[in-house]
Amino acid sequence: MKIIQLEYFIAIVKYNSFTKAAQFLHISQPSLTATIKKMEEDLGYELLTRSTKAIKITEKGIQFYNYATELVQEYHQTLEKMHDLNFSHDPKIKMSILESTSRWVPLVIHKHRQSFPDQHYQISEVLDPEITIQQLLKFDIHIGLTNDQIKHEDITSIPLYEEDYVIVMPEDKFPNQRSISIKNLPLILPNKQYRVRKHLNDYFKRLNIRANIVMEVDRFEAATNFVHQHLGYAVIPRVYYQSFNTSKLKTLRMRPNLKRTIYINYLKKRKHSEQVLSLVNLCREYWDMKSNTSHDA
């Protein structure tokens, strides 16, 4: 079945008339009637009922119409995108990030735009590495940041930096302490489907700790908001502590310490533009410079 046949059927439903639809489509009415009849024969069910007075769409015809409308719309949108490639020399760079990286990624993109001022970007937040893998393999994104290494033969996964998990609390709690055990603390943790929660559950298991979890949330932003209301203590990555949401809060190191590594990932077989490769390099340079600065200090 061809797109043009679907367009014929959609026109008949729109005008509720073979005559008006044929005029709109600039074809003869007998040709239009024959096309719909052939479609019904191929499908094995009626799309329309005809009488001398009216045309009515059947129940199966309604379902077919809904599917046909979606397909035709998607077809034309795809054609438009394909034509747009002639006019767009700098397609959008699509990048998935983690919530905790939203502080430094804008700094890198700002520097990137100094070299490529006309470049556009599409940034999405993805917290599950499995989703990032699928997005890379389906060419939906150019670059993905993850909090675990991706082990896939078609994906390059490069460590960017290592960071501690820290405990966030109101400023007046545990004065003069630099680290603390999380045992018995009322904890605000990510929901179970997130990778950070897996890191923490493994940590609890190793230490044989039964965590006192008072609240589970989807985002670090929500966790820190609840800490502001003195509802518990949140465990977050250290880099996220630099965000605006943690003002008037303090952190203590977990005892014993728990770390994680952030990776930058891209597809090996994709021919990446100069702009994409430059952005990958800038991310790496940013953290190389941060690492060297901390070592010098």
* pLDDT per residue as tens digits for the range 208-264: 999 999 999 999 999 999 999 999 999 999 988 877 778 889 999 999 999 999 999
Phi, psi of 159 (to 5 degrees): -70, 130
Q: Which CATH architecture has domain 3-86?
A: Orthogonal Bundle (1.10)
Q: Let me know if 171 is exposed, middle or buried by CB neighbors in 10 A (0-12, 13-18, 19+).
A: exposed
Q: Which CATH architecture has domain 163-261?
A: 3-Layer(aba) Sandwich (3.40)
Q: Where in the chain is the domain with CATH 1.10.10.10?
A: 3-86
Q: Is the dihedral of CA 253, 254, 259, 260 positive or negative?
A: negative
8 A C-beta contact, residue 269 and residue 137:
no
Q: Where in the chain is the domain with CATH 3.40.190.10?
A: 92-161+262-294
Q: Tens digit of pLDDT for each residue in 30-68? A: 999 999 999 999 999 999 998 777 889 999 999 999 999
Phi-psi region of 176 (alpha: psi -120 to 50; beta: other; left: phi over 0): left
Span between the terminal Cα atoms of the chain, in Å: 69
Q: Tens digit of pLDDT for each residue in 8-27? A: 999 999 888 899 999 999 99
- Residues of 210-228 as b/e, b for ≥16 C-beta within 10 angstroms? ebeeeeebebbbbbbebbe
Per CATH, the number for 92-161+262-294 is: 3.40.190.10
